[in-house]
A and B are shown apart, each in its own frame.
Chain A
Amino acid sequence: EDQVTQSPEALRLQEGESSSLNCSYTVSGLRGLFWYRQDPGKGPEFLFTLYSAGEEKEKERLKATLTKKESFLHITAPKPEDSATYLCAVSRGGANSKLTFGKGITLSVRP
């Protein structure tokens, strides 16, 4: 069965203090690894799709990387508006394309 584990559960940073969020996964035949941002009471907002080990993608202060066993979401010089829950998910793709999510990491950035 596909499994996704995210750590830490919660992270508190000072504005400007860079850090990384971890996502470890077990899946047979990875088709894609996905990062989403979710604000309280809202639906997940798509950030990145990573397809193969060694791939990296960037968007503003966020950079996602992928290895064969885990993914990292690096946050450089975070701002208070980066406070949210960050979700990681995996998919096998094709006819079996459901997303399997981790529990998420709640990030709080203090001004």
Chain B
Amino acid sequence: DAGVTQSPTHLIKTRGQQVTLRCSPKSGHDTVSWYQQALGQGPQFIFQYYEEEERQRGNFPDRFSGHQFPNYSSELNVNALLLGDSALYLCASSPRGRGAETQYFGPGTRLLVL
């Protein structure tokens, strides 16, 4: 049973560029959440997708946007990158129904903005 997968594993960009990160949820899961984790901090919630719509959003600017596809996979897009966007970006998935509150995380994408 494949867990949550993310690509790429690492990424280096320069200020002002745009980036797209990808996530495939665990088999049987239909809800995808994205988190940003700075060094030495806990993950911070960015947004959550369910049935291809953004269901909930954290305190992140509009430069952060996302999408969910019919197969439940998801993308996180960040425009006009800032140095402060350097972080580990985590995708988490959860199932419908019983156990829906528990989120399972992927390995993350390490983004470095120079």
Contact = CB atoms under 8 A, between A and B. Distances in A.
B42 interface: yes
A29 interface: no
Interface stretch (A11-19, A59-67, A90-98): A90-98
A21 interface: no
Size range of the interface on A?
A: 20 to 34
Interface string A84-111: 0001010101011111111110000000
Nearest to A36: B105
Interface string B32-50: 0101000011111100100
Contact of B101 (A42, A97, A103): A97
Interface in B45-63: 45, 48, 55-56, 58
A43 B42 contact: no
16 contacts: A31-B101, A34-B103, A43-B6, A43-B106, A43-B107, A43-B108, A44-B43, A87-B42, A96-B56, A97-B48, A97-B101, A98-B48, A99-B35, A99-B43, A101-B42, A103-B42
